């Protein structure tokens, strides 16, 4: 039995001596990790937010965005280096904390972190700002005059979930717009954002007072309310009910950007279902299912498979089952909590009842229930999976018959992984976009968004900034007062 103790979070030095720490405990097999997370008193939250606003104004706002990109790139380079102490800790501790397979964490982290290297960060910037120098100084506006983008003095992140590294999306976005950042880590994964902050500070100590990584117990609202009032922008992740509660407590003058639970699915055209391509397509589909056990919003709940190919939708479901069996050997599914096991049992029971009413329905599963594939004909409505490597494969007559099934869930849809011909891709994407889908990608990449992707169809950076414009009239009038004017 191995025990580890790790301090998470980051508090600027001026408060550090008086901080109380809370212990979170994680177990996996014979290993245990004790994580200490910082808890601030209400008055300390006020002091912290005031300090971060001043420090970010004195340091981050004076930096060029290109220098911030270089800083982030150096930090990511260290996390990609398997000999770096922080990378070693990530590979050692994250599987225990999250329960995910060690090799899956190692490979997925590397793939994920590559999206935050310098070339990819430049894509982030250019997606939202054709001229990123607008973050440094006033730049000519197309309509005339000049404009400059200002990030918030204080950006509050409320993170959720147990997928390693997810907080980096908003954390790095905040840094790129030169915001002072305060993040609340999830009780399910409090380490990665903390390590990233510590690496940044090792590389550039001046950034220490510009950010904080905290934790507070769910339901303890006094500290959260203070920070909600102090923030200029709030980014919050989680279930819709908690997000609504946060919204109700956020001042009307504060920009609130919630990211709730989303639904994603896959689509397979009959034209790709031949003896040569089908196994590859099934492998990619199974990879999207197995990666972090469907714990991301971009993970698939269902695959719609078009009839008429050389390989039938039923056979394709069997292919996915075979691939999931291989993934279970290579990356075993994490151990389930009691509640998760109960939910999967309920879901399986529902699928078995459905199978009794459809002669062609079939359920594929391994003997231990580590994965389940349920095949059926086109249902009357869209329904979710049980997560944790459970998936529905649904046979449809044409790809367009999918649209009426997903329309009732338009507000909750996000990613579609697709295997189709170029003509089908663009034809179906038009309908999918009208139905609420915001991201369309290849199967096998559903859990790997491209650098600069627009999360839920929104802007990563533009949503955070305020634009200050110098109108042409002010510029023209100023010429009258210049000392060179006769």
pLDDT of 161 reads 93
Mean pLDDT of 381-404: 94
d(CA 235, CA 455) in angstroms, rounded, equals 12
Nearest to 41 by CA among 198, 205, 194, 223: 223
How far apart (Å, rounded) are the C-alpha atoms in residues 37 and 86? 17
Helix, coil or strand: residue 211? strand
Sheet holding 20-28, edge to edge: 2-7, 31-39, 20-28
Region 456-473: mean pLDDT is 96
- pLDDT class of 417 with cuts at 50, 70, 90: very high
Give the pLDDT mean for 180-194.
Answer: 97
- The H or E element spanning position 334 is none
Q: What is the pLDDT of residues 69-81, one digit of tens each?
A: 999 999 999 999 9
Quickly state the pLDDT bin for 392 (edges 50, 70, 90): very high
Question: CA 198, CA 175: separation in Å to the nearest integer?
Answer: 14
| pLDDT score, position 252 | 97
Per-residue tokens: 430: 């038009």
For 177-200, the DSSP string reads TT-EEEEEPBTTB-SHHHHHHHHH
Whether the per-residue pLDDT at 313 is higher than 90: the answer is yes
What pLDDT is attached to residue 354?
Answer: 83
pLDDT at 263 over 90: yes
pLDDT category at 120 given cuts 50, 70, 90 is very high
Does the pLDDT value for residue 370 go beyond 90?
A: yes
Burial 406-423 (b: 16+ CB within 10 A, else e): beebeebbbbbbbbbeee
C-alpha to C-alpha distance for 181 and 235, rounded to whole angstroms: 11
Residue 376 backbone class (left: φ over 0; alpha: ψ -120 to 50; beta: rest): beta
Rounded percentage of the chain residues whose pLDDT exceeds 90: 93
Q: What is the mean pLDDT of residues 55-68?
A: 98
- CB contact burial 99-116 (16+ within 10 A = b; e otherwise): bbbeebbbebbeebbebb
Distance of alpha carbon 161 from its chain centroid, rounded?
Answer: 9
| pLDDT on residue 258 | 97
How large is the average pLDDT for residues 406-422?
Answer: 97
Torsion of CA 446, 450, 452, 455, to 10 degrees: 0
Look at residue 27 and give its three-state secondary structure. strand
pLDDT reported for residue 70: 98
pLDDT value for 377: 87
pLDDT digits (tens, 9 = 90+) for 324-368: 999 999 999 999 999 999 999 999 999 998 888 887 899 999 989
- Dump pLDDT digits (tens) for 197-242: 999 999 999 999 999 999 998 777 999 999 999 999 999 999 999 9
pLDDT in tens, 433-462: 999 999 999 999 999 999 889 999 999 999
**What's the topology of domain 2-261+456-470?**
Aldehyde Dehydrogenase; Chain A, domain 1 (3.40.605)
The residues near 312 (Cβ < 8 Å, ≥ 6 apart) are 273, 395
* Burial class for 23, CB neighbours closer than 10 Å (0-12, 13-18, 19+): exposed
Structure tokens at 464: 């955070």
Write out the two tokens for 27. Answer: 């177990």
- Cβ-contact 49, 154 below 8 angstroms: yes
Helix axis angle, 313-330 relative to 278-290, nearest 10°?
50
Collapsed DSSP state (helix, strand, coil) of residue 333: coil
Provide mean pLDDT across the span 115-123: 96
> pLDDT per residue over 189-198, tens digit each?
999 999 999 9
For 93-113, what is the mean pLDDT?
97
Residue 217: predicted pLDDT: 87
Compute the distance between CA of residue 427 and CA of residue 414 in angstroms, rounded to an integer: 18
Q: Given this model, what pLDDT does residue 381 score?
A: 78
Helix (H) or strand (E) holding 148: strand 146-150
CA distance 159 to 258: 11
Residue 291 carries which DSSP code? G
| For residues 411-440, average pLDDT | 98
Its CATH architecture, for the domain 263-453, is 3-Layer(aba) Sandwich (3.40)
The mean pLDDT of 44-71, rounded to a whole number, is 98
Distance CA 278, CA 327 (A): 17
Rounded to 5 degrees, what are φ and ψ at 204?
A: -135, 90
Q: Please tell me the distance from the alpha carbon of residue 361 to that of residue 384, in angstroms, as a whole number.
A: 17
Instruction: Show me where the domains of the chain are located.
Output: 2-261+456-470, 263-453
Q: Pairing between strand 372-377 and 390-396?
A: parallel
Report whether pLDDT(379) > 80: no
């Amino acid at each position: 039995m191995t025990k580890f103790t790790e301090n998470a979070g980051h508090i600027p030095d001026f408060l550090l001596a008086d901080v109380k720490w809370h212990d979170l405990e994680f177990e996996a097999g014979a290993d245990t990790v004790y994580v200490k997370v910082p808890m601030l008193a209400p008055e300390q939250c006020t002091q912290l937010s005031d300090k971060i606003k001043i420090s970010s104004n004195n340091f981050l706002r004076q930096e060029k965005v290109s220098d911030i990109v270089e800083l982030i790139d150096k930090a990511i380079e260290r996390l990609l280096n398997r000999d770096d102490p922080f990378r070693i800790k990530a590979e050692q501790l994250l599987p225990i904390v999250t329960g995910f397979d060690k090799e899956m964490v190692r490979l997925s982290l590397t793939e994920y972190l590559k999206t935050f290297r310098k070339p990819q960060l430049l894509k982030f910037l250019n997606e939202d700002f054709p001229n990123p120098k607008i973050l440094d100084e006033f730049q000519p506006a197309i309509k005339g005059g000049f404009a400059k983008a200002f990030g918030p003095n204080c950006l509050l992140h409320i993170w959720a979930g147990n997928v390693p590294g997810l907080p980096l999306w908003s954390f790095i976005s905040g840094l790129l717009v030169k915001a002072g950042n305060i993040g609340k880590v999830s009780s399910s994964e409090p380490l990665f954002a903390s390590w990233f902050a510590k690496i940044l500070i090792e590389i550039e100590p001046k950034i220490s007072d510009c950010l904080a990584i905290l934790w507070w117990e769910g339901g303890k609202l006094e500290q959260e309310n203070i920070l909600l009032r102090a923030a200029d922008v709030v980014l919050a992740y989680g279930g819709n009910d908690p997000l609504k509660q946060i919204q109700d407590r956020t001042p009307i003058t504060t920009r609130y950007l919630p990211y709730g639970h989303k639904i994603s699915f896959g689509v397979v055209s009959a034209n790709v279902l031949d003896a040569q391509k089908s196994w590859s397509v099934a492998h990619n589909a199974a990879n999207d299912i197995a990666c972090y056990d469907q714990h991301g919003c971009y993970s698939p709940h269902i695959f719609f498979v078009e009839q008429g190919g050389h390989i039938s939708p039923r056979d394709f479901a069997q292919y996915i089952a075979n691939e999931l069996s291989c993934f279970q050997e290579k990356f075993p599914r994490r151990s389930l909590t009691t509640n998760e096991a109960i939910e999967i049992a309920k879901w399986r029971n529902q699928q078995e009842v459905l199978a009794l009413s459809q002669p062609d329905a079939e359920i594929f599963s391994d003997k231990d229930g580590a994965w389940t594939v349920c095949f059926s004909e086109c249902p009357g409505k869209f329904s979710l999976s049980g997560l944790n490597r459970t998936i529905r494969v649904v046979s449809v007559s044409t790809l367009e018959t999918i649209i009426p099934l997903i329309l009732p869930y338009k507000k909750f849809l996000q990613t579609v992984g697709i295997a189709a011909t170029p003509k089908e891709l663009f034809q179906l994407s038009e309908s999918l976009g009208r139905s609420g889908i915001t991201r369309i990608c290849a199967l096998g990449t559903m859990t790997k968004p491209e650098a600069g992707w627009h999360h839920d169809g929104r802007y990563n950076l533009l949503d955070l900034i305020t634009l200050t414009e110098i109108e042409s009239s002010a510029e023209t009038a100023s010429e009258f007062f210049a000392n060179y004017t006769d």
